[in-house]
Structure formats: structure tokens, C-alpha cells
Amino acid sequence: MARGTAKVAQKLGEEAVECVIEAALGNREATVLESADLLYHLVIVWVEAGIQPEEVWAELVRSEGVIGVAEKAANPRGLFRAAGTTKLF
């Protein structure tokens, strides 16, 4: 945290990428380890930003059923990108 918010956020991104790589490779044990690292660094980002876990949980409750495909459908460009096309039909 002494190196600033940008460095904390960068570390979170690095951990996310490492977790994704291990998951994509099917390395279960490594995915568990990288997930722990990712969660740890996410909490550090929250602390740095003054975010309370309750705020995140409330957002999860609020967005239930909206995250993912439904969220992309609300933004046509996001839906097209997700589908890999620029045409609806």
C-alpha cells in the first residue's frame, strides 16, 4: 500500500491474470492458490479505496440476475462484442 493505489490495482490485475491462466489450463490446485492471492489483493484494493465488504455484498444482491448476459443485453454494443458480431440477424 505504501507504493500507492496504482501499484495495488496493478497487483490485483496480475493476480487475476494468473488465476485465469491456471483455470484455463485446468490446474485445479494452482487455481485455488491463485484465487486466494486474488481475493487477498482484492481486499487490499478495498481497504485502499475505503470500501467496506458490506457495500460489495449489497451490490451483489442488487445486481442478482443482471450480471453477465443480461447486463450485456442492456448495452447492445456489449452484446454484439460478446457474440463476436456487429449484426443482430
Range of the domain at 56: 52-89
Would the pLDDT of 76 be above 80? no
Please give the single-letter amino acid code of residue 31.
T
Question: Hey, what's the cell of 11?
Answer: 497487483
Do 1 and 42 lie in a common domain?
yes
pLDDT at 25 (0 to 100):
97
Do 59 and 46 lie in a common domain?
no
* pLDDT tens digits along 16-62: 999 999 999 999 999 999 999 999 999 999 999 999 999 999 998 88
Residue 40 vs residues 11, 49, 70, 75, 77: alpha-carbon distances, Å: 10, 14, 29, 32, 33
Neighbouring C-beta atoms of residue 79, cutoff 10 Å: 16
pLDDT at 89 (0 to 100):
46
Do 40 and 60 lie in a common domain?
no
More confident residue, 50 or 89: 50
Cα separation, 79 vs 89, in Å, equals 13
Do 34 and 22 lie in a common domain?
yes
- What lies within 8 Å, CB to CB, of 73 at 6+ separation is 79
Would the pLDDT of 86 be above 80? no
Cα separation, 15 vs 27, in Å, equals 15
Q: Could you say which DSSP state residue 86 is in?
A: S
Would the pLDDT of 80 be above 80? no
